[in-house]
Structure 1
Amino acid sequence: YLMKSSISLKNIRVYANHGCMQEEAQIGSWYRVDMTIWADLGKSMQTDTLSDTIDYVRLNQIVEEQMAIRSNLLEHVAGRILLAIKNEFQKITRIEVEIAKINPPINGDVEQVSVKIID
């Protein structure tokens, strides 16, 4: 039977060069990526076989690969991550990807700004 299950990766820390400002492209900054995916993981619960689940090591690799591609907007990066994961793992029924820029270069005392995409 169909089982509701999720896998989450939290606080993936990546140094990258995203942003609209030239300094951001040159200097870069720290980012935090969180994601939760939903899929029927019932088969892997029975078989104990990696190919029957969503490989979270591969999820992390996809995040690192996409974060390495410079973009102006966090929305663009989050969308690429989401699409790459959905293309690789068809059994995913829902996905949330959130990217936070730590200490963004904006006026005021702002710890982070983040974008969350849900599909």
Structure 2
Amino acid sequence: MSDFDDRDRILLAGLAFYGYHGVMLEENKLGQRFRIDLELGLDMSDAAKTDDVASTVHYGNVYNVVKEAFEERRFKLIEALGHHIIVRLFGAFDKVDWIRIRVRKPEAPLPIVAGEVAIELLRTRDQI
């Protein structure tokens, strides 16, 4: 994964959504909060040189795709939700080479006082 550490990326962190994803009946009925962190890898050298938004991916458009993907269907597993969001982002933005997503469930149905559960996926375009 270190190949990705030195590359350009767009970051969206702590995006909060309310949804009905999960295995447990209570999660499907009552819903819960989710947090999503994203890294989208792309070459931003032209955008840096030209100051032209057409040379990059607009993060507002990224948010819109994530929100739509999050809300369009229910998933039992946050792994499947994360994969679905990645597929939709690759479909929407040709300039993106790789995506890292972390889907967090701060209120997962576990007997813990503090903490959260999360998954993290890292995919290149050819892995979808």
TM-score (norm. length: structure 1): 0.90
Partner of 2:118: 114
Aligned to 1:4: 7
The alignment of Structure 1 onto Structure 2 pairs a total of residues equal to 117
SS for the counterpart of 1:92 is coil
1:13-68: CA deviations, max 9, x gaps?
11111001111111100111001111101111122222210111111111111211
Structure 1 segment 35-74 matched on structure 2, within 5 A: 35-68=38-71, 69-74=73-78
Percent of paired sites with the same residue:
24
- Counterpart Cα distance in 2 of 1:66 and 1:11: 16
Q: Over aligned residue pairs, what C-alpha RMSD do you find?
A: 1.5
Q: Distance in 1 between matches of 2:39 and 2:77?
A: 21
User: Residue type of the partner of 1:32?
Assistant: R
Partner of 1:24: 27
* 1:105 and 2:104 matched: no
Name the CA distance, whole Å, in 1 between partners of 2:117 and 2:69: 19
Cα separation, 2, equivalents of 1:15 and 1:55? 24
Task: Give, in whole Å, the separation in 2 of the partners of 1:84 and 1:4.
Answer: 22
Question: Using the alignment, how far apart are the partners of 2:84 and 2:49 within structure 1?
Answer: 32
Looking at structure 1, the residues matched to 59 and 17 of structure 2 have their Cα atoms a distance apart, in angstroms, of 16
CA positional deviation for 1:76: 0.7
Matched, 1:92 2:96: yes
C-alpha deviation, 1:105, in angstroms: 0.9
Greater strand content: 1
| Alignment partners' CA distance in 1, 2:120 and 2:114 | 18
Code of the residue aligned with 2:70 in structure 1: it is M
Q: In structure 1, how many angstroms separate the alpha carbons of the residues matched to 2:114 and 2:91?
A: 35
Q: Where do 5+ consecutive residues of structure 2 fail to align?
A: 1-5, 124-128
Q: 1:15 aligns to what SS in structure 2?
A: strand
